[in-house]
Amino acid sequence: MLPLLAANAVVIMAIALALGLFAALPSALVAHLVLAMGIMPLILAAMAYFVPVLTRSDGAPRSVEGLALLAWLGGLAMVASVAVHMEALAVALALVGALLAVKAAASLLLWTILRARRSLGAPHPGLAWYVAALGFLLAALVTVPLLWVWPEQRVVLRLIHLHANLLGFVGLTAIGTLQVLLPTAANRWDKHAATRLKQDLGFGICGVAMMAIGAGFSSLLAGIGAALFLVPLLRMGTRWSMDYADHLGRLHGASTALGLSCFGLVGLIFAGLGHAFGYLNGSDALTGFVPAFLLPLVSGAAMQLLPVWLRPGRQDGWHEKLRSTLGRYSGLHAPLLVAGGLAVAFGYPQGLWLAAVGVLVLLAVVVNALSKFCRSDK
Ligand code: HEM
């Protein structure tokens, strides 16, 4: 299921970018197409895959793997809610969507905690980042019914929902995973990663909570939150620039895309400081989030993990060959995506065209790699 959900996310993001360039659709529709139907199910499925690794236990049962599909249905209900024109139906669909996503996230959280308790030895410190990320997803979903219960606070609740989702759920999952994924892609162990994961989680959680609450009430609180959130990112980035510099600037390979996704997220936090203090527009940062961070992150992770997901078990030359074909020209498309996305976030919408070129290069690489491997599989 993971390869399907990864393809689903990449195709949806490419469609969303095209819609952003050529059609004027409601931003909530495009946002939920990408985030609730593309990214949320992919992250939940990836967590179901990684939790057994982090707790040294058996693979996830089918019922847990299926939670990602439940979340996808929740996302679909939310997209339909924005698309329909009847108010009562829109509210009902949004509530059904939130309920399905809550069921998926809460069940995965419960299963993760149970697995952590039964872990062989102490669970890997990356697990706590997943628990925190799921906590933020649940908090974000709880704000959905409140939008109608407490309509006079709609602006504040919407800001809590979107920051808790984008930075709490997606951001914390990404930081927790990247600390292990980039060293794996570079084939060189990072002996400081576990300590950083333990020391920095508090900064990540407090940073997101202060940004989410501060966005609606106090720019100063949001600004302090942004500074705290930057701590884990900058500590990880500094270590990478010392230990993995030879991998980060390569023309091919997952490390370049993964490293640049971290750079993109740092840039987006600075854009966030810009809109918190009234110099930039927040909706530009939302548009830039997809090319500057999500696309290099998801494509870099897929380059490294897709071969294992397609053929689990013993790793051989087939996996290495597919990995290197998928990783072709990451040093071309990832910089285009990140530069284009950050340009948009800093108020230059023409950056979308740069990102579109990056998407075309990325799609060409993916189609070429998969067609080659479908042929060699026959
Ligand atoms: C199925 C679960 C979800 C439901 C039911 C839901 C519901 C909503 C609702 C009702 C709004 C307010 C829309 C408006 O102001 O008109 C909203 C806004 C938003 N949500 Fe969600 N959401 C869900 C999942 C997510 C996820 C997983 C993410 C990100 C990872 C996300 C990101 C956003 C963003 C960025 C906005 C602001 C969109 C804009 O107005 O430009 N949502 N959501």
Q: What is the pLDDT of residues 201-240, one digit of tens each?
A: 999 999 999 999 999 889 999 999 999 999 999 999 999 9
- Evaluate whether residue 27 is within a structural domain: yes
**pLDDT at residue 145, as a whole number:** 98
Quickly state the pLDDT bin for 10 (edges 50, 70, 90). confident
Q: Please check whether residue 324 is in contact with residue 252, taking contact to mean a CB–CB distance below 8 angstroms.
A: yes
Residue of 73, 78, 96, 142 to test ligand 1 pocket, by largest number of atoms within 8 Å of CB = 78
* Domain boundaries, position 57: 1-123
- Evaluate whether residue 298 is within a structural domain: no
- Evaluate whether residue 157 is within a structural domain: no
**pLDDT at residue 315, as a whole number:** 85
Nearest Cα residue to 72 out of 16, 106, 34, 107: 34
The pTM of this model reads 0.95
pLDDT at 378 over 70: no
**pLDDT at residue 314, as a whole number:** 86
- Ligand 1 centroid–CA 200 distance in Å is 27
- Evaluate whether residue 50 is within a structural domain: yes
Q: Per-residue pLDDT averaged across 182-192, rounded?
A: 93
Average pLDDT over all residues of the chain: 94
Q: If residue 271 lies in a helix (H) or strand (E), which one and from where to where?
A: helix 254-276
pLDDT at 107 over 80: yes
- Evaluate whether residue 318 is within a structural domain: no
**pLDDT at residue 237, as a whole number:** 96
Nearest Cα residue to 31 out of 342, 287, 346: 287
Radius of gyration of the chain (CA): 20
- Evaluate whether residue 38 is within a structural domain: yes
Q: Whole-angstrom Cα distance, residue 136 to residue 164?
A: 6
The b-or-e profile of 161-184 (16+ CB within 10 A means b, else e) is: bbbbbbbbbbbbbbbbbbbbbbbe
**Residues contacting ligand 1 via CB (< 6 Å):** 27-28, 31-32, 35-36, 39-40, 74-75, 78, 94, 97-98, 101, 141, 144, 147, 158, 161-162, 165-166, 169-170, 286
- Evaluate whether residue 7 is within a structural domain: yes
**pLDDT at residue 377, as a whole number:** 63
- Evaluate whether residue 144 is within a structural domain: no
**pLDDT at residue 11, as a whole number:** 85
Q: Per-residue pLDDT averaged across 275-280, rounded?
A: 94
Percent of the chain exceeding pLDDT 70 equals 98
- Ligand 1 centroid–CA 150 distance in Å is 16
pLDDT at 80 over 90: yes
Summarised one tens digit per residue, pLDDT across range 333-376 is 999 999 999 999 999 999 999 999 999 999 999 999 888 877 77
Our count of domains for the chain comes to 1
